[in-house]
Amino acid sequence: MKMTLEQVAAKVASQKELLPSLYGDVDFGSTPQRFTDDLRDESVLRGELVGKRAEILSDKEQVGRIRAYTMLGDIVADAYAALMPEYGFKGLTAMLADACDRGVENVEGAPQELIAFIRDMEHIPDWLDMNLVREGARIDRNSAVNFSPYVVRGAFIATFMNKYAALPMALTGTLSNQTAANRVKETASFFATTVLPGGLDRYGAGFKAAALVRLMHSMVRFNALKRSKQWDVAVYGIPIPQVDQMPAGLIPIFLLASSVLSKGRKEFTPQERARVELARYRCYLLGLPEDLLADTPQGIVKVMSTRHATLRNGYDDNTCGELLRATMAAYLPSDRSVGSRIFNSVEQSFAKVFFVRTFLSGDEKRAAQIGVHLSLKDRLQFAAVGLFVFSRMAAYSFAMRIPGIAGLADRILIRKLNVLLKGYGHAEYTTDVTKYKPASIKAAGA
């Protein structure tokens, strides 16, 4: 059930009382600099939606909801992460993994915060249709195997193109090529595990990965607020607020919803609806409030557009630029064989063009300004890979609609998906404050 604005505000304010050790000094009645509903300020809204910003901001109820969620962390996961001084980040991660594998009731000495965390994830929302989730996973296995390996780098860098949203990533030490490569592979690994058969079931690999990612985000909040001198709540708000988790989790269905609306349709097809349900439940397990998980094309575009229309534009080269360059230069394959080096080169080219076209609306001049230069080789490799990828996806899509062949095609995709996961390596989903690096971020207008 959708909460009223008053209920959302109360939930946000409750963080101060429920977690005084973490949020006791935060003024939840204030609005951080990152948020703006002033038409005179430039937001991160791009493309054709820029001309609709006034219309988007006219929905005061939706704008108020986004403003509130800009100051919301993750109450149950944050409470567990706040135990770091007592258990250490490795101890907390190990207990959470054990609780996911065996059930929290079987974890000896499990603190109440861990029990509350697991019970929150085990809660089944009224809207959930697990059959749709499983069907969405079956459909998305095609793109996870054939498309995602070429675009995950480009999609990853799109999440830190704004200095207000990117600072947590910079603080965790992701400015080095190797750390950036690990984060990209962890992201790819997470999404891949969620489309495995039964991945999002209670004891599935995706459920466990979601719990570990959620804890990692809470650890970053704890370290940023309590152990970093760089974080200014008045400027940045709460580290990794709920509105900043939407882009990573909902980008695929936001693009899908935008495509549906551009074709004059107002409803998803059954297959599209299954993919939406998968994305919504995946985000729900990551802690996103149900208010932000729309299920119609119009609703999805509206909530994401409002987030973009209220996030103040800001690009800081010392943070955003360094993150971008480190991630773009990172070597992702697990070995240095000739085939792996060729794949890395081709994938880098594809990711660059994909990033510019999808997240910069094809603005190559802007791309060059931030260090993404498209060469003739990049364009040729993008075209060649695109032809290969979309032909293969079309072939699998066709095969998966034919009785007697569909099962075989799906088994092949599952096998390939497991090979990809092996290549990504063991995802740690941890953040160590001893590896945090200082970040120099200028406030807007500085």
Q: Please state the domain extents for the chain.
A: 40-423
Q: Which two tokens stand for residue 25?
A: 């000094």
Reported as a single tens digit per residue, the pLDDT across 290-344 is 999 999 999 999 999 999 999 999 998 888 888 888 888 899 998 999 999 999 9
- For residue 311, give the 3-state DSSP assignment: strand
Nearest of 230, 219, 282 to residue 253 by alpha carbon: 282
How far is it, in rounded angstroms, from Cα 231 to Cα 441? 10
pLDDT number for residue 337: 95
Rounded distance between C-alpha atoms, residue 165 and residue 153, angstroms: 18
Question: With contact defined as beta carbons under 8 Å apart, do 224 and 171 qualify?
Answer: yes
35 near 91, Cβ under 8 Å? no
Angle 406-424/376-399 helices, nearest 10 degrees?
140
Tokens of 59: 């929905």
> What confidence category does residue 444 fall into, taking pLDDT thresholds of 50, 70 and 90?
very low
- What's the pLDDT score for residue 155? 87
Q: Render pLDDT for 5-15 as a digit per residue (tens, 0 to 9).
A: 999 999 999 99
Mean pLDDT of 282-291: 95
pLDDT mean across residues, the chain: 91
pLDDT band per the 50, 70, 90 thresholds, residue 434: very low
Torsion 59-65-70-71 (CA) sign: positive
Q: Which residues of 252-262 are buried (b: 16+ CB within 10 A; e: fewer)?
A: bbbebbbebee
Banded model confidence at residue 361, pLDDT cuts 50, 70, 90: confident
